[in-house]
Amino acid sequence: MVDRAAVVTQIDTILKAVSVPNFQGYYVGEPIKISSYPAVAFWYTGDSEPDEGRKTLGNTMVQENFLIRCYFPLVASPSIKKNVDLAIWNAVRNISAGLYGDANLSALVTDLDVGDAVVDWMQWNSGAVSRIVTIPLELKDLEAETITP
């Protein structure tokens, strides 16, 4: 069985190692509010059946699902908006590279898949607007649980 706390710590470590863009906030769990700086968060969204099927002769296989979301607060300046688009592109590429660079999360899972990034807008309760990037993360644990006879 996977060490769940270690998996969360490893994902957090990988995201904190992304140097471009310069995230100034890091959250484990979906944030309720974000300050006026770029931030990244991730949280668990549930499990599903892996593409490989659910069971082998001795193990139950599990796919654990997470969402990674980057937040880029907007300011009404054309040059800053241009910089935000570049930061979004860098975030998508560098987060993906960081995760695939440690595709088994230091031997904690069998493999992982980084899904397609989706860029959107988000308005907070305060009225502030952020550009957001949502990146699905699927962790494959092909030996999650031993089946005992």
- pLDDT 10s digits, 72-130: 998 766 666 678 889 999 999 999 999 999 999 999 998 999 999 999 999 888 888 88
pLDDT over 70 at 131, yes or no:
yes
pLDDT-derived band of residue 71, with 50, 70 and 90 as boundaries? very high
pLDDT-derived band of residue 62, with 50, 70 and 90 as boundaries? confident
pLDDT digits (tens, 9 = 90+) for 35-57: 788 999 999 999 887 776 665 66
Note the pTM of the prediction, 2 decimals: 0.88
Q: Can you read off the two tokens belonging to residue 44?
A: 């668990």
pLDDT over 80 at 63, yes or no:
yes
21 exposure class (CB count in 10 Å sphere: 0-12, 13-18, 19+): buried
pLDDT of residue 126: 82
Query: How far apart, in whole angstroms, are the C-alpha atoms of residue 99 and residue 130?
Result: 24
116 exposure class (CB count in 10 Å sphere: 0-12, 13-18, 19+): exposed
* E strand residue ranges, the chain: 25-28, 39-48, 59-73, 111-114, 118-123, 129-146
**Residue ranges in 18-148 assigned as alpha helix (H):** 78-100
The residue-averaged pLDDT of 27-37 equals 85
pLDDT of residue 74: 84
Beta bridge pairs of residue 47: 64
N-to-C CA span, the chain: 17
Q: 137 and 65 in contact (C-beta within 8 Å)?
A: yes
pLDDT of residue 149: 61
